[in-house]
Amino acid sequence: MPRGRVVVIGVVLLVIAIQFIPVDRDNPPVTARIGGPDAVVAILERSCYDCHSNETRWPWYSRVAPVSWVIARDVREGREHLNFSRWAEYTQKEKARHSDEILDEVSKGGMPLKAYVLLHREAKMKPGDVDVLRTWVGAGPDSQSGKRP
């Protein structure tokens, strides 16, 4: 058998084998949702929730390794940094810090991630979204209280 064919068969077998490596794609219970004006919540749900909440929508390609590993890692890290499904558990100081970080990241274009927006065009910040978030952040943590799901 030609060497090239052996390599191709080996790669195909490897790709098949890695599909059996388990990946955690769970969505833990939502303990509290973020409060705030409907426009703010809509922006956050559209652009942030897949990585920063327990309400992740897992698309079909999140089940195909090695892409599944990257997506699961990004979601895990996103939830560890900021989780809107646990917003009510944050102190007022943490809410203020997180909301400032949100505004900073979206203002700079750092969030949502460009790779995410390539696959989820609806997540892209629309004209005026940053202004809506700026007004919300300016209102302070009291306007950002969580409400039960």
**What total number of domains does the chain contain?**
1
pLDDT of 21 higher than 90: no
CB-based burial label for 27 (10 Å; 0-12, 13-18, 19+): middle
Residue 1 inside a domain? The answer is: no
Residue 6 inside a domain? The answer is: no
Domain coverage including residue 113: 23-144
Name the band, by pLDDT with cuts 50, 70 and 90, for residue 142.
low
Over residues 105-127, the mean pLDDT reads 93
pLDDT of 58 higher than 70: yes
Q: What is the CA radius of gyration of the chain?
A: 19
Residue 7 inside a domain? The answer is: no
Q: What is the pTM of this model?
A: 0.82
